Amino acid sequence: MSGLDDVVAAETVLSDVDGENGRLIVRGIAVEGLARHSSFEGAALLLFEGFFADLPDARAMSATLGRARAEAFARLACRLPVLSGLPPVEALRAGLSLMPDGDDLATAFALTAASAVLTAATVRIERGAEPLAPDPERGHAADMLRMATGAEPTKAAERALDAYLATVCEHGLNASTFAARIAASTRAGLGSAVVAGLSALKGPLHGGAPGPVLDMLAEIGEPARAVPWLEAALARGERLMGFGHRIYKVRDPRADALKAAVKALMKAGGAQSRLKLAEAVEKAALDLLHRAKPGRSLETNVEFYTAVLLDALGFPADSFTSVFASARVLGWIAHAREQEVSGRLIRPRSRYVGPEPRQAA
Ligand code: ACO
């Protein structure tokens, strides 16, 4: 009851999360296909279609988004020093709140672009480097990588980031999307909906998990240490990050989509050892979880291979939630528009279980 399990709170054309069969369909396309073939721009078009007038066609999309990145940087550059020192996801939240709060396509692009620009800038600032201005001529993923790492991204890295962004851009009525829809249901504006979504995403039970996954892999260090480390964590009553999901009763299909992206990246020259370690830790964790919680369906979730992939791409662990948000911003915006267009004010009730009426002191 307290977690609203199985409550249907909205109808959506955006995605179908089938937890029993481990399937995710985004506007008719299976997530595996999106991961393999879609760019970030393609995913944006897929999700925004029907919710905005004047959506550019596929050919014009990259240039439009590139211009939006340049505009977002121009708007935010002078504020970046104020954001330095904040944890990256809090800097992103503060920066996004400086963006427009309309409900038109320009606002949608501004928020989408600003998410990537701010995420990359905070990575640079944390490393003591100057933020890099966007290059509007590049694809969104390639430019985000270049702005974050300061290096020319390889084709394989660009493809891997596109695969990641397309895989996690939309996922039904998860906690952050619900928060975004609630804000949108009051007609607060897309900026408010995105900030509400990000605020809910940030927690370790939702989008804050991949950083701790990487910490766990680093602490374990080598495959032989996986079992004792995980056993000790479970004995302390800790949750193993990257495992378990409210909806998926079987393996999260995004885990395999991302594992395939990691493998493709490693094949193109990345270090294989982190992948081998991750596979050993995953196997050990699943064995232990199945034994420790026999009645529960605790399987690998999206965050496990997110950590391996974003680490291999050069993002620091504390920026993972912001990179996630740079993708999920598409889902938040599309859901917010859907709520604005076809929904009502979301206003559930609570049952009072406090003290009986009494005299005020
Ligand atoms: N490790 C150990 N035990 C777990 C884990 C885990 N990762 N996940 C759930 N459990 C246990 C709980 O302790 C509980 O056991 P109990 O009934 O004996 O007390 C039982 O499984 C059910 O847990 P709930 O919290 O009721 O299940 P819920 O559906 O709320 O959990 C959640 C979903 C929050 C994702 C949980 O599995 C978890 O905390 N996982 C680790 C964090 C994580 O990976 N988050 C990312 C999720 S994906 C995303 O949001 C993008």
| Maximum separation of any 2 CA atoms in the chain, in Å | 72
Q: Which CATH superfamily is domain 210-312 in?
A: Cytochrome P450-Terp, domain 2 (1.10.230.10)
Q: Given pLDDT bands bounded at 50, 70 and 90, which one contains residue 268?
A: confident
Give distance in angstroms: CA of 49 to centre of ligand 1. 34
Q: Which tokens sit at 347? A: 């206003």
Q: State the pLDDT at residue 272.
A: 76
- In a 10 Å sphere around its CB, with 0-12 CB exposed, 13-18 middle and 19+ buried, how is residue 345 labelled? exposed
pLDDT digits (tens, 9 = 90+) for 158-193: 999 999 999 999 999 999 999 999 999 999 999 999
Tell me the average pLDDT of the chain: 95
- Nearest CA owner, ligand 1 atom 32: 245
Q: What is this structure's pTM?
A: 0.94
pLDDT digits (tens, 9 = 90+) for 280-300: 999 999 999 999 999 888 999
- Measured from the CA of 5, which atom of ligand 1 is nearest? 29
- Nearest CA owner, ligand 1 atom 2: 239
Architecture of domain 17-207+318-342: Orthogonal Bundle (1.10)
Question: Is position 206 annotated as part of the catalytic site?
Answer: no
Question: Is position 338 annotated as part of the catalytic site?
Answer: no
211 or 139, higher pLDDT: 139
Q: State the pLDDT at residue 1.
A: 58
Task: Give me the phi and psi of 16, to 5 degrees please.
Answer: -120, 115
- Position 270 pLDDT exceeds 70: no
114 lines ligand 1 (CB under 6 A): no
Q: Same topology for domains 17-207+318-342 and 210-312, yes or no?
A: no
Domain ranges of the chain: 17-207+318-342, 210-312
- The catalytic residue among 245, 282, 299, 335 is 245
Q: State the pLDDT at residue 269.
A: 78
Q: Which tokens sit at 360? A: 């005020």
